Amino acid sequence: MAPPSSRSSRTRGPNPAFTPISAAGYFEQALQVAVPESGLEFRVYYTAPKAEDGAVMVCHHGAGWSALTFACFAKEVTRQSKGECGVLALDMRGHGKTTSQAQTPADKEDLSIDTLTTDLVNLISNIFKDPASTPTLLLVGHSLGGSVITRASPLLQERKYRIGGVAVLDVVEEFTLEALPMMNSLLDSRPEGFNSQEEAIEWHLNTHAIRNPDSARVSVPSIIKENPHPAANSFPWVWRTSLRATAPYWTSWFTGLSQRFLSAKTARLLVLAGTERLDKELMIGQMTGKYQLVVIPNVGHILHEDDPQHLAEVLVEFWRRNERLTVNIKNLKKVGEA
């Protein structure tokens, strides 16, 4: 979700230092995947694993963002794993370039946690139709995406997909629920729109919503759109997703996250930004060795954009260690299964 900010200037022209960067250099493919069961056509970015025994990290973004928030991270995973680990990132419903075939506004705006979870399961089942020949999947979710992947993991396992682990990025149930009452004031402090894509990129960097200029230049253009109803006093670029409209779902998105994460029947990794803040369930889980915890310094909430290299190191190492246990040493337990 969005950080506090100042209002956007409406007088300056575009700054070429913040020119958008195409996602073409970060993923091998950009696809539109029809998923009739969800009534959606998903935008998916995909780099396939080069090795037969490779894996695919399935990346689910948080509210208000898009698949391209993982662009720099995906490129690092490919580089560090030497292509052995692929990356698939999706725009969830109501975000990015995923489009709905729904006939009623209510259907189009359904961002309930159960619907988002079903969407992910349906998408994976459409892309990888045969679980037996599907690479091992490592589910990675940021913020709301963390809730989605922890719910989707057992459903995919029921369908016989091999889930090599769940990695939750910078969301802890207790502290997130405590922060929700402040969200409306944070949204009030955001600009209503921008004069250009460059201005939107600059705003995200100036407010430290994103701290990595290269990543912001790839990801920010995907979370804004040209104003469909331009007027004399309106901005030509506006937010693609109305976060305020998702307010009825906020509490249900995160309730029960800690318990679902700890009960996942696969390896578990929690990555936090800057400081270690655990609720009681996670603290007990950490002390009893139920999951791996990594704290990345000098990053904000969008840690996968702020330091994609460090996060890729963490996740590639997590994948390699747990994949070796699956393949070579079947009598040992994965990290998080102690």
pLDDT at 7: 41
- Count of the separate structural domains present in the chain: 1
Examine the residue annotation and report whether 38 is marked as an active-site residue of this protein. Answer: no
Establish if 13 belongs to a structural domain: no
What does the block give as tokens for 222?
């995907």
Name the 3-class secondary structure at 84. coil
Establish if 199 belongs to a structural domain: no
pLDDT at 56: 98
Establish if 186 belongs to a structural domain: no
pLDDT at 11: 55
Alpha carbon distance 292, 28 (integer Å): 30
What does the block give as tokens for 138?
């490592």
DSSP 211: -
Whether the pLDDT of residue 229 is over 90: the answer is no
> What is the average pLDDT across 211-237?
92
- What are 33-83's pLDDT values in tens digits? 999 999 999 999 999 999 877 899 999 999 999 999 999 999 999 999 999
Alpha carbon distance 49, 52 (integer Å): 8
Establish if 164 belongs to a structural domain: yes
> What is the average pLDDT across 16-21?
92
Query: What angle separates helix 144-158 from helix 113-127, to the nearest 10 degrees?
Result: 50
pLDDT at 66: 98
pLDDT at 259: 97
Note the Cα 83 to chain centre separation in Å: 21
Q: pLDDT category, 2, cuts 50, 70, 90? A: very low
> What is the average pLDDT across 274-288?
91
Name the 3-class secondary structure at 47. strand
- What integer best gives the mean pLDDT of the chain? 90
User: What is the value of pTM for the model shown?
Assistant: 0.91
- Nearest-CA neighbor of 256 among 153, 148, 335, 328? 148
- Of the chain, the end-to-end C-alpha distance in Å amounts to 33
Establish if 334 belongs to a structural domain: no
Alpha carbon distance 140, 256 (integer Å): 18
Alpha carbon distance 91, 97 (integer Å): 7
Instruction: Using CB atoms within 10 Å of the CB of residue 318, give its burial: 0 to 12 exposed, 13 to 18 middle, 19+ buried.
Output: buried
pLDDT at 103: 55
DSSP 247-304: GGGHHHHHTTHHHHHHH-SS-EEEEEESS----HHHHHHHHTT-SEEEEESS--S-HH
Whether the pLDDT of residue 171 is over 80: the answer is yes
Which of the residues 143, 196, 219, 222 is marked catalytic? 143
Alpha carbon distance 212, 177 (integer Å): 27
Q: pLDDT category, 13, cuts 50, 70, 90? A: low
pLDDT at 108: 54
Establish if 182 belongs to a structural domain: no
Whether the pLDDT of residue 107 is over 90: the answer is no
Which of the residues 60, 61, 95, 301 is marked catalytic? 301
Which of the residues 119, 170, 306, 307 is marked catalytic? 170
Examine the residue annotation and report whether 301 is marked as an active-site residue of this protein. Answer: yes
- What are 283-317's pLDDT values in tens digits? 999 999 999 999 999 999 999 999 999 999 999 99
Domain extent, residue 308, equals 20-174+208-328
What CATH number corresponds to the domain at position 88? 3.40.50.1820
Note the Cα 182 to chain centre separation in Å: 22
Residues 6+ apart with CB under 8 A from 94: 100, 108, 109, 111, 241
Establish if 53 belongs to a structural domain: yes
- Nearest-CA neighbor of 146 among 26, 239, 245, 63? 63
pLDDT at 211: 97
Establish if 333 belongs to a structural domain: no
- Percent of the chain exceeding pLDDT 70 equals 89
